Amino acid sequence: PLMKEKENRKDPKTGLTYRQRLERRMSKARYEQDYLAKFVTNTYSVFPTFDKCLEKIPANLSEDEKIAYIENWRAPKPYYSYSIGYDPASINDSPVIWVKEEETGKIVFIADMLGMNWDAQFDYIRMISLRYNNAPIKFGRTGHEMIESQLIKRYLTTIAINEQGSNKENLVENLARIVENKQIIILDDGEELTERVKLEFDDYVRDKKDKKIFYHNATSDGHDDHVSAAYFVCYDTESVETVIPYDGYIAGV
């Protein structure tokens, strides 16, 4: 009875019950496994609700109006905060960046730097960072120790993120929760790059083999660069504010 009362009690600050706050802190599959004691399958889709994070362009716009709408949606706003998620890769792979507008959760810019060497990537990132109000760079440093020094040489703010061990699982689970809560918004503009993003998220799965857990792209030629850039740019995003209950009394004279 005590747990039932706690479960249904609404927090006055967020308006959410204890159970709703738990559900928002992790992916649906993780919640069912850890709190409802359900046995989940060894392989399942990590982002089954990704489509609800897509924002359609209003219908019946002329071509010029559509271009203006997209430009306005992606334009940097004065006094807004932005951050860049960067999945590093060499010239033969797909280095990807995502730019997130922190106040709204909009992913205002996505780029695939395929074919760029390291110096070209760093210079391009500097240009995008300056455009979006000196956005800091959140990137995966695992296996890329020299990246931070090169970005700092270009006067950029860096946040290096480790993907080793259980860190990747935490990053992916955090992104899954953010997607389920619709805390990021991607403009569904019909461009080839956006279709690539949708494919990677739709095909991203969690596999359990023996006692090991793997996260990977199941079908779209193994690439998951956009998912990686997304979990870097969102790694410190909180879905529900943690409220510590007051335990005491107030008195006055």
For the segment 159-180, the average pLDDT, to the nearest whole number, is 89
Supply the DSSP symbol for 115: T
Residue 149 has pLDDT above 50, yes or no: yes
Q: Exposure string (b/e) for 148-160, b if CB count within 10 Å is 16 or more?
A: bebbeebebebbb
Give the separation between CA 112 and CA 225, rounded to whole angstroms. 9
- Of 7-16, 24-33, 214-223, the least confident: 24-33
Q: Cα separations (Å) of 2 from 8, 9, 23, 230?
A: 10, 11, 19, 39
N-to-C CA span, the chain = 38
pLDDT attached to residue 74: 96
Q: Cα separations (Å) of 243 from 14, 16, 99, 228?
A: 9, 11, 29, 30
The chain-wide mean pLDDT, for the chain, equals 84
Q: Which residue has the higher pLDDT, 207 or 210?
A: 207
pLDDT attached to residue 252: 59
Q: Note the pTM of the prediction, 2 decimals.
A: 0.78
With cut-offs at 50, 70 and 90, classify the pLDDT of residue 6: low
Q: Report the run of H or E that residue 5 belongs to, with start and end.
A: helix 2-8
Q: Which residue has the higher pLDDT, 102 or 163?
A: 102
For the segment 39-60, the average pLDDT, to the nearest whole number, is 81
User: Which of the residue ranges 43-52, 82-91, 165-174 has the most confident prediction, judged by mean pLDDT?
Assistant: 82-91
Give the separation between CA 72 and CA 63, rounded to whole angstroms. 14
Q: Cα separations (Å) of 225 from 35, 184, 198, 218?
A: 31, 17, 12, 13
pLDDT attached to residue 69: 95
Give the separation between CA 159 and CA 136, rounded to whole angstroms. 7
Give the separation between CA 208 and CA 217, rounded to whole angstroms. 14
